[in-house]
């Protein structure tokens, strides 16, 4: 740890100023802080702590909190919380300074100069985004979370200071306006409490949850707390009896144990009541007991003794020692029928496990000598840190801040399931995850090429929700290079969703690039000039594109004209006569159906990965002679060759492309068409028209009616049919009706 050598740069502490209102806290003195750190770290740098104390107090000066207390009392209390976690000097100093860059005249350069770059980096990592112009509070919250997680990935101590900062703010929330209290409590419950849990810091998570619950639903908090107190009073003797019996039973078998009775927190009880729709009286695990032993071997011996003496409740056994949770939690959980026929939940663990289970990543003694930085040691020692690194990876794959926030919340809240690959590798996933999530957790390429799966030896859909202990075999195919875009809505994990979006974007880009290449090559062939990728590569700077694929994708999306590519490669290139180009395109479109070897682009309707849509005024159906128009940012619009709208594109020949129908007869699909019907005004006439369409398996999308005279109504009907033959059959049947004066197909 680096500190500034020149202690004279910091002036002595000024005389305390009188607050405008009575101070509500008694601030810790310099020597009190030093004593708290020295109690667990005899080698602490007292000079560093003293200089940081004085500097922070002077920097905040006369700033006040909402309570009227000196603002410096806040960073001081944050530091005190971290001394309870026995953290190193740099973390304590960062806590003292954590608001200086944000709220005072201090700068990162000054912090680096006085306290060293290590502490400077910690303080900067804690500084919130300032003057951020975002459209919503959710977006700002997401961006702050992004910065926090990125800072944590560099040094995990940033998280510890941030959690302590939030904890002290929650403890003093009564001085804030009600709206602010609620907003901060919601954010704490959404982000910080689950994040503390993910990092294994259960004690801090529970306090954050309880403080938030007290603000967000004070009535429910009061009721649950009252019921808990009453239940504890009634069962006081029973709890003591259970503790004594456990200690005696284990001692009889040569095992020395510490047994602690513990009741669940109000928030966790409330959540369980809400989730399972049960009353307070129906909960059977309000009280639990921790059995703390000296070794792992004693844990399993104690489990055998407990199961021998008391009946086991089926389905209530979990071994987190052999299979730890992702946040490093290790313990054996079992529920037995104890004295008085009471259900008793036992958590059997060693003393070291108990410390890690309570304090998580903070349980790693940063102040002790070790190889590498605290974050480097955590990478080696902590499974919880692996989740954090994975979450940071998702940062670069999220399309927008709100999307990242949504996925991070989802992974924070969900409990976990543990599944296995055929080779026995453990894969931890959020609860409710399915095989798609599993496949992407194994490897992105496995997810992208997944086509099926076996769960515990049986074939199952990829959307199957996984359970603890499932062995999953993912079946892949080289023929599938990109997953269906619909998988994104099925996936649960942020990693899977991000990978699917990325693969889908790449597939669509490849489609556009393929389309653009065909358009460019057709123009070059028509102009009788040579095309070569090498020549285009030399022209990339003139087109302001980084690669040939970027150029082709831009042409395919309609963002660049094929003639621009030709001019970049051949500066003397001149466009052909436009009308000749248009006539040639139309002629080719008329003959494309008869030529199975035509270079025209096949279409599969509106569900293609390459965006394809139909003419807005009249559509197109199989059997029509068609032409495609490239629309910037929208893909290809399909028009019947007789459409009057094609006149609008006569001046833009590069946008015309040859297309043909590619219909799967085994899977019939409907296509859009429009009819103009002149109907006689009499009761039931509209029903007769609709009846004809329904009887002949047509589907009406929309009907527009306008009265042209007392005797006739004009109907514009948008419908869906299978092909031109189907459409003509409906038109013939409508013309045969007495209530129909005329019917014509619309080709706008």
Same domain, 100 and 165: yes
**Catalytic status, residue 369:** no
Catalytic residue among 103, 110, 203, 406: 103
CA distances from 63 to 19, 72, 100 (A): 10, 8, 11
Same domain, 200 and 269: no
The residue among 130 and 252 whose pLDDT is bigger is 252
CB 33 within 8 Å of CB 80:
yes
Largest CA distance in the chain: 105
Phi and psi at 713, nearest 5°, equal -125, 135
Same domain, 146 and 288: no
Same domain, 632 and 697: no
Residue 447 included in any domain:
no
Same domain, 174 and 34: yes
* Digit-coded pLDDT (tens) for 183-220: 889 888 877 888 888 777 888 999 999 999 999 999 98
Same domain, 585 and 612: yes
Count of structural domains, the chain: 4
* Digit-coded pLDDT (tens) for 439-498: 998 998 999 999 999 998 899 999 999 987 788 999 999 888 788 888 988 998 878 888
DSSP helix/strand/coil, 624: strand
Same domain, 541 and 648: yes
CA 192, 82, 199, 130 torsion: positive or negative? positive
| CATH number of the CATH domain containing 351 | 3.30.460.10
DSSP helix/strand/coil, 651: coil
* Digit-coded pLDDT (tens) for 674-728: 999 888 888 888 888 888 898 888 888 889 888 877 778 889 999 999 989 999 8
Polymer length in residues for the chain: 748
Same domain, 723 and 648: no
CA distances from 370 to 153, 200, 276, 528, 624 (A): 19, 21, 46, 72, 76
Last residue of a domain, one of 635, 661, 687: 661
| CATH number of the CATH domain containing 732 | 3.30.70.260
The tokens of 471 are what? 């062995």
Residue 256 included in any domain:
yes
Of 388, 387, 331, 377, nearest to 356 (Cα)? Answer: 331
Quote the crossing angle between the two packed helices 157-171 and 178-187, to the nearest 10°.
150
Of 72, 68, 112, nearest to 90 (Cα)? Answer: 112
Residue 2 included in any domain:
no
* Digit-coded pLDDT (tens) for 599-641: 455 554 434 456 678 888 888 888 888 888 887 766 788 888 8
CB 77 within 8 Å of CB 36:
no
Same domain, 86 and 169: yes
Q: Of 63-67, 540-544, 571-575, where does mean pLDDT reach its minimum?
A: 571-575
- Which residues on adjacent β-strands are paired with residue 630? 636
* Digit-coded pLDDT (tens) for 314-363: 878 889 898 887 778 889 999 888 776 777 889 999 998 988 888 777 77
Phi and psi at 589, nearest 5°, equal -65, -35
Catalytic residue among 102, 187, 397, 564: 102
**Catalytic status, residue 110:** no
The tokens of 586 are what? 């139309």
Same domain, 197 and 310: no
Q: What is the pTM of this model?
A: 0.55
Last residue of a domain, one of 168, 194, 214: 214
Residue carrying the six token digits 């099926």: 452
| CATH number of the CATH domain containing 78 | 1.10.3210.10
Residues 82 and 75: their CA atoms lie apart, in Å, by 11
Q: For residue 300, what are the contacts with CB-CB under 8 A and spacing of at least 6?
A: 332
Residue 125 included in any domain:
yes
Residue 196 included in any domain:
yes
Residue 517 included in any domain:
yes
Residue 482 included in any domain:
no
Last residue of a domain, one of 661, 688, 705: 661
* Digit-coded pLDDT (tens) for 220-276: 899 888 888 888 777 777 777 888 888 888 999 999 989 888 778 888 888 878 776
Residues 184 and 182: their CA atoms lie apart, in Å, by 6
Same domain, 77 and 54: yes
Sort strands 740-745 and 699-707 into parallel, antiparallel or unpaired.
unpaired
Same domain, 729 and 701: yes
Q: In this structure, how many other beta carbons lie within 10 angstroms of the beta carbon of residue 113?
A: 14
Residues 288 and 307: their CA atoms lie apart, in Å, by 16
Long-range contacts from 294-300, C-beta under 8 angstroms, 24+ separation = 294/256, 294/350, 294/351, 295/350, 296/321, 296/350, 298/255, 298/257, 298/350, 299/332, 299/348, 299/349, 299/350, 300/332
Where in the sequence is the domain holding 342, given as residue range(s)? 222-363
Residue 178 included in any domain:
yes
């Amino acid at each position: 740890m680096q500190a500034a050598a020149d202690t004279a740069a910091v002036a002595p502490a000024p005389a305390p100023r009188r607050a405008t209102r009575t101070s509500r806290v008694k601030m810790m003195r310099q020597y009190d802080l030093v004593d708290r750190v020295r109690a667990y770290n005899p080698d602490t740098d007292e000079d560093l702590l003293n200089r940081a104390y004085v500097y922070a107090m002077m920097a905040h000066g006369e700033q006040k909190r909402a309570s009227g207390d000196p603002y410096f009392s806040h960073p001081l209390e944050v530091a005190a919380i971290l001394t309870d976690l026995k953290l190193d000097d740099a973390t304590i100093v960062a806590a003292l300074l954590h608001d200086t860059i944000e709220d005072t005249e201090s700068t990162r350069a000054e912090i680096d100069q006085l306290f060293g770059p290590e502490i400077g980096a910690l303080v900067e990592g804690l500084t919130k985004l300032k003057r951020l112009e975002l459209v919503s509070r959710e977006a700002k919250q997401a961006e702050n979370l992004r910065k926090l997680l990125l800072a944590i990935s560099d040094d995990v101590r940033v998280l510890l200071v941030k959690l302590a900062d939030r904890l002290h703010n929650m403890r003093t929330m009564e001085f804030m306006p009600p709206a602010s209290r609620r907003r901060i409590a919601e954010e704490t419950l959404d982000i910080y409490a689950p994040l503390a849990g993910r990092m294994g810091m259960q004690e801090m998570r529970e306090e954050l949850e309880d403080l938030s619950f007290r603000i967000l639903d004070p009535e429910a908090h009061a009721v649950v707390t009252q019921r808990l107190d009453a239940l504890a009073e009634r069962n006081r003797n029973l709890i003591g009896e259970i503790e004594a019996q456990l200690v005696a039973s284990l001692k009889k078998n040569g095992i020395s144990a510490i047994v602690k009775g513990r009741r669940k927190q109000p928030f966790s009880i409330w959540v369980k009541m809400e989730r399972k729709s049960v009353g307070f009286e129906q909960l059977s695990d309000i009280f639990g007991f921790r059995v703390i032993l000296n070794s792992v071997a004693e844990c399993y011996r104690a489990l055998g003794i407990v199961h021998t003496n008391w009946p086991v409740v089926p389905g209530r056994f979990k071994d987190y020692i052999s299979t730890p949770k992702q946040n490093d939690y290790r313990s054996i959980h079992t529920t037995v029928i104890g004295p008085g026929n009471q259900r008793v939940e036992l958590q059997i663990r060693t003393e070291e496990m108990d410390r890690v289970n309570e304090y998580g990543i903070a349980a790693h003694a940063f102040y002790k000598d070790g190889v590498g930085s605290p974050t480097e040691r955590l990478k080696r020692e902590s499974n919880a840190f692996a989740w954090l690194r994975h979450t940071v990876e998702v940062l670069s794959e999220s399309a927008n801040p709100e999307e990242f926030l949504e996925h991070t919340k989802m992974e924070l809240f969900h409990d976990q399931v543990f599944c296995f690959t055929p080779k026995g590798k453990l894969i931890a996933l959020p609860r409710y995850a399915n095989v798609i999530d599993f496949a992407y957790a194994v490897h992105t390429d496995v997810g992208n090429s997944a086509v099926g799966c076996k769960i515990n030896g049986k074939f199952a859909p990829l959307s199957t929700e996984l359970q603890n202990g499932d062995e999953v075999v993912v079946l892949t195919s080289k023929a599938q290079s990109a997953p269906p875009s619909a998988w994104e809505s099925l996936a649960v994990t942020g990693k899977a969703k991000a990978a699917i979006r990325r693969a889908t974007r790449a597939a669509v880009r490849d489609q556009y690039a393929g389309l653009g290449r065909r358009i460019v090559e057709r123009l070059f062939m028509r102009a009788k000039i040579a095309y070569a990728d090498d020549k285009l590569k030399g022209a990339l700077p003139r087109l302001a594109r980084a690669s040939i694929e970027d150029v082709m994708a831009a042409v395919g999306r309609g963002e660049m004209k094929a003639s621009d590519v030709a001019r970049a490669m051949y500066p003397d290139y001149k466009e052909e006569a436009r009308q000749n180009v248009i006539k040639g395109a139309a002629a080719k479109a008329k003959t494309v159906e008869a030529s199975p070897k035509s270079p025209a682009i096949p279409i599969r309707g509106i569900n293609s990965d390459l965006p394809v849509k139909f003419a807005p005024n009249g559509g197109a159906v199989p059997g029509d002679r068609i032409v495609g128009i490239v629309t910037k940012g929208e893909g290809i619009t399909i028009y019947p060759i007789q459409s009057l709208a094609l006149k609008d594109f006569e001046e833009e020949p590069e946008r015309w492309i040859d297309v043909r129908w590619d219909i799967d007869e085994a899977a019939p699909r409907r296509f859009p068409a429009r009819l103009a019907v002149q109907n006689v005004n009499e009761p039931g006439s509209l029903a007769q028209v609709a009846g004809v369409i329904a009887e002949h398996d047509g589907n009406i999308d929309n009907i527009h009616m306008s009265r042209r005279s007392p005797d006739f109504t004009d109907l514009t009907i948008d419908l869906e049919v299978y092909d031109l033959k189907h459409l003509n059959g409906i038109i013939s049947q409508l013309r045969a009706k007495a209530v129909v004066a005329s019917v014509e197909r619309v080709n706008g």
